[in-house]
Amino acid sequence: MDCAGPSSECWLPPEPVPPGLDWDMWLGPAPWAPFNHGRLTFRPWRDYSGGGMTDWGAHNFGGALFSCNLHETGPVEIIPPNKKDNPLLTYKFANGIVFHHQGGWGGKSVSKAAKEKFRRGPAANLHARKAASAATTRPTSSSPITKAMAA
C-alpha cells in the first residue's frame, strides 16, 4: 500500500507573520515555532500531524482491510521498518495476509515531497490554487441550484 509516510521535523525558515493572522492562535497547543507559510499545510510536520499514515492511511488501509475481509480483526504482528532486512512497515494477519506500507506517494517521502512543494514558495502555490479554482465548474445563474439558493 502507498500513502504518504510519517511526518517529520519542520525545516522551514522563519518568515514574517502576515497581517491579520494570529499565529499563536493558529499554533494552539502545539509547541511554539516561527511562522512559515509552509506550516499552514500542516500534514507533513510532526508538531501538527502524524503524517500520511494517520491521514490517508485510514482510507487506503481501511479499504484494503475491508476487501480482504479483515475489517473486524487486526494484525497479529506489526514489524517496524529498519534499514537492513525489513525496509517497509509490515502488518501480518492470522490468515497469512501481509500488508506493507511503502511510505510515500510514488516512492517519495513526505518531507521530500513537501520540500519540492514549498521550495517554489507561496506565489507558485497560490498560482496553482487559482488555476485549479478557475477550472472548477460553477453553476450558472439559470441552473436549478442557483435559482433555489436565490429563493
53, 6 contact by CB (below 8 A): yes
Q: In the chain, what percentage of residues exceed pLDDT 70?
A: 66
pLDDT of residue 41: 86
Confidence of residue 104 (pLDDT cuts 50, 70, 90): low
pTM over 0.75: no
Q: What is the pLDDT of residues 9-68, one digit of tens each?
A: 889 999 999 999 999 999 999 999 999 999 998 888 889 888 877 888 888 888 888 989
Judge whether residue 129 has pLDDT over 80.
Answer: no
Q: What is the Cα gyration radius of the chain?
A: 21
31, 129 contact by CB (below 8 A): no
- How far apart are alpha carbons 90 and 78 in whole angstroms? 6
pLDDT of residue 148: 46
- Residues whose CB is less than 8 angstroms from the CB of residue 51 and which lie 6 or more positions away in sequence, other chains included: 4, 5, 6, 7, 8, 43, 44, 110
Judge whether residue 110 has pLDDT over 80.
Answer: no
